[in-house]
Structure 1
Amino acid sequence: MTSGRIVFLNGTSSSGKSSIARELLDILDDGVFFHLAVDGFNAMRTKRELDPGELDAALRRTRMGFHRSIAAMADAGNDLVVDHVLSEPWRLLDCLAVLRPENVLFVGVHCPPQELARREKARGDRPSGLAEHQFDLVHTHGDYDVECDTSTARPRECAQRIKEALAHAPRPTAFSRLRERHLPELSGATGAVGEGRPTPP
């Protein structure tokens, strides 16, 4: 079975990832793509209030489960558009460990702080300052296959650029380069689910 392709969108909250994902599902016409968003996994959690320690543990398990769900869907042959916020270093390391790096098109979704704050206020469904807190964290790894700025390009334009990049995916991919840099012990591994990869710290 051929593993599916993964368009992996990374950016802060309110940066425009979900809007780009919707446009991608509309214009990607060479396969059947599914949009997997970390917010969707968060929304499935019980609504009862959790103390800080319990919440942190639940969120970590949620992220780890999300990453493995991405891998399982792709390994079953599904093409995916993933919407994530890599605001903690271990999240990227875990993704590098569990996903097939050669199948991932890594997309940096950028937006300046002032516009993020405006969008956050307009949405009214995010804690104030969340995007600002994430701003200096999500792109620290410094390596992408393609990047876009949603303050200067509309979601459709960003999606079109990503579609073109997907058709001419670079080799090695950004995920392959990052895995070589951060997880050299896994270099050359395919990254399929269930191969006994290490759990991140």
Structure 2
Amino acid sequence: MAARIVFLNGTPSVGKSSTARALQQRLAEPHFYLGLDEFRRGYLDRHWLADHGTDRRKGPMDLDQPELHALHDHGCYDLTVDTSQTSVEQVVDRILPVLDDPPRPAAFDRLRRIREESANR
């Protein structure tokens, strides 16, 4: 059975969780939502706390400029939205058509190809 992954990438506190929940409400089939904070709860505290700057239990985190730029350096997305200028509902309205008719090749396929080409050099 094929699975679909909707990967919402962005800096902390830009609305990824709100968008994911709104998207779940609008999709006909069930989708499981797992945010990075919940994923990281699977680590032991000694690993979580040892990781530089990702301890969200203390509140929103700031990214240094190099970390902020690294977040999007790969440049491969199926859709880009500016959540500072767009409501959650408008973002979901833009995501749904992309899910129904994804670009070919998809961002994950383009990233895989870049990685393979880089490994072969």
TM-score bucket (shorter structure)? 0.7 to 0.9
Say which of 176, 181, 193 aligns to 2:109: 176
Bigger RCO of structures 1 and 2 (CA < 8 A, at least 6 apart): 1
Letter of the aligned partner of 1:37 in structure 2?
G
**Cross-structure match for 1:68:** none
Deviation at 1:133, TM superposition (A): 5.8
Give 1:157's aligned residue. 90
> Against the structure 1 CA distance between its residues 159 and 24, is the aligned structure 2 distance closer, same or farther, given a 3 Å change threshold?
same
Determine the structure 2 residue equivalent to 1:41. Answer: 39
The answer on whether the counterparts of 1:12 and 1:134 sit within 8 Å (CA) in structure 2 is no
The AA in structure 2 aligned to 1:125 is G
Give the TM-score normalised by structure 1.
0.50
C-alpha separation between the residues in 2 aligned to 1:157 and 1:173? 22
Per mean C-alpha deviation after superposition, the further-off stretch among 20-29 and 34-43 is 34-43
CA displacement at 1:146 relative to structure 2? 0.6
- Deviation per residue, 1:53-86 (Å, 9 max, x gap): x824xx9xxxxxxxxxxxxxxxxxxxxxxxxxxx
Q: Please give the TM-score of this superposition, normalised by the length of structure 2.
A: 0.79
Secondary structure in 1 matching 2:89: helix
Structure 1 residues 182 and 51 mapped into 2: Cα distance closer, same or farther (>3 Å)? closer
Q: Number of paired residues? A: 114
Structure 1 residue 19 corresponds to structure 2 residue 18: yes
Give the equivalent residue in structure 1 for 2:27.
28
Counterparts of 1:133 and 1:34 in 2: how far apart (Å)? 31
Residue-by-residue CA offset, 1:31-50 (whole Å, 9 max, x unaligned): 21110111102234444xx3
Are the equivalent residues in 2 in contact too, given 1:16–1:155 (CA < 8 A)? Answer: yes
Q: Specify whether residues 133 and 40 from structure 1 end up closer, same or farther in structure 2 by C-alpha distance, changes over 3 A only.
A: farther
Corresponding position: 1:55 with 2:54 = no
Deviation at 1:137, TM superposition (A): 1.4
Number of the residue aligned with 1:70: none
Q: What are the equivalent positions in structure 2 for 1:130-149 lying under 5 Å apart?
A: 130=63, 134-149=67-82
Structure-2 residue corresponding to 1:125: 59
Q: Deviations over 1:121-155 (max 9, x none)?
A: xxx7123x337663211110111111111011011
Seq. identity, %: 37
How large is the Cα RMSD of the aligned pairs? 2.8
